[in-house]
Each structure stands twice: as C-alpha cells, then as structure tokens.
Amino acid sequence: MKAQTKPPLPDVYSRVTDKIIADLEQGVRPWVKPWKASNAGDRITLPVRHNGIPYQGINILLLWGEQLEKSFRSHRWMTFKQAQALGANVRKGAHGTLVVYANKVTKTETDDQGDEIERAIPLMKGYTVFNVDQIENLPAEYRTEPEPVESEPLELIEHAEAFFARTGAVIRHGGNKAYYAPAQDIVQLPVPESFDTAQSYAATKAHEITHWTSHKTRLDRQLGKRFGDDAYAAEELIAEMGAAFVCAQLGLAPEVREDHAAYLDHWLKVLQGDKKAIFTAASQAQKACEFLFSLQGEQDQEAA
C-alpha cells in the first residue's frame, strides 16, 4: 500500500498574502482598518515588540488586523519564550499571530572553472507572537496602556503641518482633486476648507507626499519592471500604506478615499497572482515613511 503524504504547508508569502486578500475581499483595507473599529477609540499606535521597538512593513498590517479582529487593547507583542523570561505565561488556549522577518542563507556552489563560490539566497521566515492581553502574570509596566489622546480641533493640526513643511515638498492648493504631478514635482491639494476635518486634510496630504517620495531625486521608485502593467495600481497601494504608516506615527487617522475604491479589485488580482507582491508594496511603503521622517532633523526625530 502506498504511503500517504501530507500536503506541504503553505509558505510564509502565501500565508501572509492570503490573510491580506481575505480582508480586501471584504472591502477592507487592513492598513486603515484599525481606525474603523469601535474598540479602537480615536487613535491607534504602531505595534511594538516586548522591548518597545516598533514593528515595520508587512508586520504592521498583520498585527493591526489581528489586534482589531480579536479586540486586543494593547499594541505590545512578544514570543512565548519572552513571556516566560518575564515570569509570565501565555493564557491556555490562546492562539498566536504570525510575524515575519527576512533572512539570508549562504550556499556554496562550484562555478564552471571548478572554483567554489558562495551565494546569498534571500529567505522569508515566520514566527509566532502573542498580544500581552493573551499573557498572564506580566510585570505591571508591560500591561500599561498608552494615555488616551484628546480629539484634535478642526483647525489645521500644527505638528502635522510642521512635519509636512520640513519635507520640503512643494504643495499647491486649488481645484477639486488631490494628486502628485511627477513632471512638475508638486503636490496639488484642494484648499483646506474643502475637507470635512483637519484629520482628513492631513491624511490626504500624507498620501500625496508618499507619492512625492517616488521621484528620481529621492527614492527613485521604479515599479514597471516588478509589476509591469500593474505598476500604477502598485504605486497607489504603496501610497495608501505609506500614508497609513506616517499617520500612525503622527497620531492621525488615515483617509479612506472614495476615488480609490476602484483599485480594490485591481489589487486583489495582483495579489492573487503574485504572493510576494504585498511584501514588496509594504517594504516600499516603509521606505517612503522612513525617508519622510529622515527629513525632519535630529530634534524632531527624537520627538517622533
């Protein structure tokens, strides 16, 4: 009798992409979902490791989604062993959450001349973390939640405007559309009074300034080779996530713009056909966010 073999487990790329696709199929963008849930309050922060260091890129999306799906109050996460090292324990029956990290393995090969050469092969690995709400007997400092943030007034948000001004981006106002014009290298926005709230105005500006980072004199984001005919939609995906990352660090709610709803079906097709596409987009969004913060100066970096 022929032995039965177990089907191979899905790789990390597939597991993460399938989770993002499941949200998109429900019409939900996971990078803005935290601000649309009733338990999130007025503000949500970037997820952090046990030592307070923020997660980056795709892990932000994974942990935001899990936090809201399971109504976790905390934004802090740790591994089973990290909890044990603190004298704590994961609650019985609690299910962990997948996060990922990039690594490289070195493979030795023999070339045509018979010489041995080493080649670095990129590898994506995953591991499991638990929200501190799932962990018992933690020291008090690990269970402390961020202080609630008062709602911003309707006038322009001073610290956000200062942040955008320090990027040096040329921003013009007028008309009824928001866009970035690469040829002129300008961000065009409707006048602030056209927006319902100061949060909406700032979030829209964050989206267009994320596009601004793509210019050849900055990050030189060339997506045609990677995404082909889908490059335009990929850039919009990067701008949405990049703006969400920036807004999280500035304490703002990202904007879900009606004119971007048409991209959902396109993004789904791209992600369903390419299991690594969301990783590329999240990585590029993270780079855009880091670039904008690099323009802020030392004093503002410390305050960020």
Closest by CA to 152, choosing from 212, 207, 195, 190, is: 195
Which pLDDT score, from 0 to 100, does residue 264 have?
A: 78
Strands 186-189 and 179-181, how do they pair?
A: antiparallel
Phi, psi of 290 (to 5 degrees): -65, -35
Which pLDDT score, from 0 to 100, does residue 183 have?
A: 92
**C-beta of residue 107 within 8 angstroms of C-beta of residue 162:** no
- What does the alpha-carbon distance between residue 109 and residue 278 come to, in Å, rounded to a whole number? 31
Structure tokens given for 78: 């740790």
Sketch the domain layout of the chain as residue ranges.
Answer: 44-148, 151-304
Which pLDDT score, from 0 to 100, does residue 163 have?
A: 97
- What does the alpha-carbon distance between residue 291 and residue 213 come to, in Å, rounded to a whole number? 8
Check: pTM over 0.85? Answer yes or no: no
Place of tokens 């596009």: 211
Which pLDDT score, from 0 to 100, does residue 87 have?
A: 94
Instruction: Count Cα neighbours of 235 within 13 Å in the Cβ-side half-sphere.
Output: 22
**C-beta of residue 98 within 8 angstroms of C-beta of residue 126:** yes
Return the ∠ at Cα 212 (arms to 210 and 213), rounded to 5°: 70
Calculated CA dihedral for residues 60, 70, 20, 58, nearest 10 degrees: 10
Which pLDDT score, from 0 to 100, does residue 194 have?
A: 81
DSSP class of 90: E
Taking the chain (304 residues) in runs of 10, the rounded mean pLDDT of each run is 53 85 78 49 73 93 86 90 95 94 77 73 88 93 61 73 97 87 92 84 94 97 93 92 93 72 79 94 97 81 44
- What does the alpha-carbon distance between residue 273 and residue 275 come to, in Å, rounded to a whole number? 7
- SS3 of the chain: helix, strand, coil, percent, to 5: 45, 15, 40
**C-beta of residue 271 within 8 angstroms of C-beta of residue 277:** yes
